[in-house]
Amino acid sequence: MKNNKCSQCGAPRDPNAPQCKYCGEKFATTTPNFKISAQDNISPTYVQPSYPQYQNHGRQMIGIQPYWPIKNKTVAGLLGIFLGGFGIHKFYLGKPASGILYLVFCWTYIPAIVGFFEGIVYIASNNQTFQMKHKVRLNEYTDYH
């Protein structure tokens, strides 16, 4: 009596197939087409089952929301260093109220000093902290590699 299931994976067996189409296990034939002699060095072969490949497309970071805008940390830092006195880095990061405050007090040079240090902090901070603090997603092709 023939077995209707594969002995390796338990999948239904096609009676005419020489091996299982799911795991590759070879089925024993009832009438061998060759003779095995003592001189033949035959060893059992094990076929490694294939598992689905899971790919990690980019890095997943906990707490980063998909609806946050995509920004570049380096651009924000350079805007803070060179144009921080006018609050351009704040406008870039989507904080217009802070940007207007910097713009109103730009004649005092205090926003320029603060913007310079903020630009350095932006560039020096790690990606997770920057994203969580400013509620932005980083462009993964430029900031992760």
pLDDT confidence of residue 112 = 97
* 120 is a domain residue: yes
In a domain, 62, yes or no: no
Could you tell me if 50 and 81 lie in one domain? no
- The whole-number pLDDT of residue 75 equals 95
User: What is the domain extent for residue 104?
Assistant: 70-143
* Count of domains forming the chain: 2
131 and 86 share one domain: yes
What pLDDT score was predicted for residue 1?
44
* pLDDT given at position 42: 63
Q: Is residue 64 part of a domain?
A: no
Do 137 and 82 fall into the same domain? yes
Give the per-residue pLDDT at 27. Answer: 74
Residues 23 and 49 in one domain: yes
Residue 60 lies in a domain: no
Phi, psi (rounded to 5 degrees) for 28? -75, 135
CA atoms within 13 Å, Cβ hemisphere of 102: 22
Q: How far is CA 139 from CA 73, 81, 100, 103, in A?
A: 8, 20, 26, 27
The answer as to whether 82 is a domain residue is yes
Do 8 and 47 fall within a single domain?
yes
Q: What's the pLDDT score for residue 12?
A: 78
Task: Please report, in tens digits, the pLDDT of each residue of the chain (145 residues total).
Answer: 456 777 777 777 777 777 877 777 777 765 555 565 655 566 666 666 665 554 445 555 577 888 899 999 999 999 999 999 999 999 999 999 999 999 999 999 999 999 999 999 999 999 999 999 999 998 765 544 4
**Within a domain: 65:** no
Q: Are residues 48 and 80 in the same domain?
A: no
Shared domain for 50 and 74, answered yes or no, is no
